[in-house]
Copies of this chain bind each other. A is one copy, B any other.
Amino acid sequence: MLHRDFIRDLPQKVGSTVVVRGWIFRRRTAGKLCFIEVRDGSGVVQAVVKKGAVGDAEFEAADKVQLESSVAVTGTVRADPRAPGGVELSVTAFEVVSACIADFPLGKKEHGIGFLMEERHLYLRSRKPTAVLRIRAEVVRALREWLDGHGFTAVDAPIFTPAAAEGTANLFKVDYFGEPAFLSQTGQLYMEAAAQALGKVYCFGPTFRAEKSKTRRHLTEFWMLEPEIAFGDLDEVMGVMEQSVSHAVARVLERCRPELEALGRDLGKLENVKPPFPRVSYDEALKVLEGTPAAIAWGEDFGAPQEDAISARYDRPVLVHRFPMKIKAFYMRPDPARPDVALGCDLIAPDGYGEIIGGGERSSDLAYLEGKIAHEGLPKAAYEWYLDLRRYGACPSAGFGLGLERTVSWICGLDHAREAAAFPRTLNRVYP
């Protein structure tokens, strides 16, 4: 094993000689001293190269090496309260592992988004994307942790599907050995089957929508967390939504504070994110919007103006429930007390981040679903297995889908969902 000491561990190694392997993050020379910030993925440390303390060739190498070249730096760990991590390195040996063949494409100047996306494989090394990736990993970990701790079993939904859950539009088509197959838009229908086996389940994987949208909320490929609860109802899933999201935010605050600070995130706003979240019906929301520029007629769906106007009234995410049936997916359960609205709910994030969760109860009524499938012109043969879930021991079932990139965008305070993915895929981009 190639010996190396991780920068994260240096505060425990004061006085020792260590070898740090990483990349040149920043560099400046002042006479006989060369100050080099080295990053290794676990942290950043300042290494001080002093003329005379290393050979002349080494000093010159340190003085000339381009940013983002890879290096091996041997030195003594010194406590320094002024240093970011509380330590710095007094260098005794400096080796360039691999010099950049030219200046690193991402220098200090501002770059356009197109260029940053084209150079995404290099841009990931910058402070901001690195912070976002760490927070994303913590959000994923925390959401799984909450569900695993509350009786849910993770079940992976398939990606290749014979049909679309929410209509045949916006599907990516694949050549499956000469036959057409489609990339999954949601794992929900499969989770309903799994919930009849395991009670409480979730899938967490990539989903695909061939939408020609170029808004800041849309990606063609995004990860979705989809819990499903046999014998669950709207009230129960609203509780799971607010508790799991609050847990994820709390974990990020607890474990990713330096990353949130690197992103300039307002921590106070995240600290407000605690259950219970306010609950507002679609009808109540429409009354609130009356007379404002965001006013809509009953039956129209929410867009960004409506979501923003409602969420602006609260200091934490808001649950909007009972949207009109006619704008919701075929499988949603009508409210028995008022069949023109669905027993469903969206979770709208604060500060204009919009809907990050949609969910609710599924209809368990075979005849009703057969009618909806016929009415919406969906290919019934592809749904026979789904209808079987109502033919053999149907049960109330409820769940939701949480869009990971939108959630991470909100928690990080990003401008665009594409910043929340390592290698985002949009209408015009599948590279790198």
**Interface residues, chain A, with chain B CB atoms under 8 Å away:** 1-2, 4, 6, 8, 21-24, 40-42, 68-70, 97-98, 100-102, 104-105, 119-122, 124-125, 129-130, 133-134, 136-137, 140-141, 144, 148, 151, 153-162, 172-177, 179, 181, 183, 190, 193-200, 205-206, 208, 210, 212, 220-221, 223, 230-233, 235-236, 239, 364, 366, 382, 385-386, 388-396, 421-425, 427, 430-432
Contacts and interface: CB of A to CB of B under 8 A. Distances in A.
A221 B159 contact: yes
B422 A190 contact: yes
17 contacts: A41-B195, A70-B395, A104-B393, A105-B392, A122-B388, A125-B196, A133-B153, A136-B154, A140-B154, A158-B424, A159-B159, A159-B221, A162-B430, A176-B430, A193-B432, A385-B431, A386-B432
A1 B233 contact: yes
A200 to B, nearest CB: 7
Contacts of A124: 193-194, 196-198
Contacts of A223: 156
A183 B190 contact: no
Contacts of A154: 136-137, 140-141
Contacts of A395: 21, 23, 70, 97-98
A393 B430 contact: no
Given A41-B230, A172-B176, 11 more contacts: A2-B231, A23-B196, A40-B230, A101-B366, A102-B391, A121-B385, A137-B153, A141-B154, A156-B422, A157-B422, A382-B431
Contacts of A190: 121, 422-423, 432
Nearest to A392: B100
Contact of A40 (B105, B199, B232): B199
B221 A160 contact: yes
A21 B161 contact: no
B232 A2 contact: yes
B210 A177 contact: yes
Nearest to A421: B156
A220 B137 CA distance: 27
B137 A155 contact: yes
B98 A198 contact: no
Nearest to A24: B393
Given A1-B233, A153-B134, A200-B41, A98 B393 contact: yes
Contacts of A160: 220-221, 425, 430
B198 A392 contact: no
A409 to B, nearest CB: 15
Nearest to A9: B151
A297 to B, nearest CB: 33
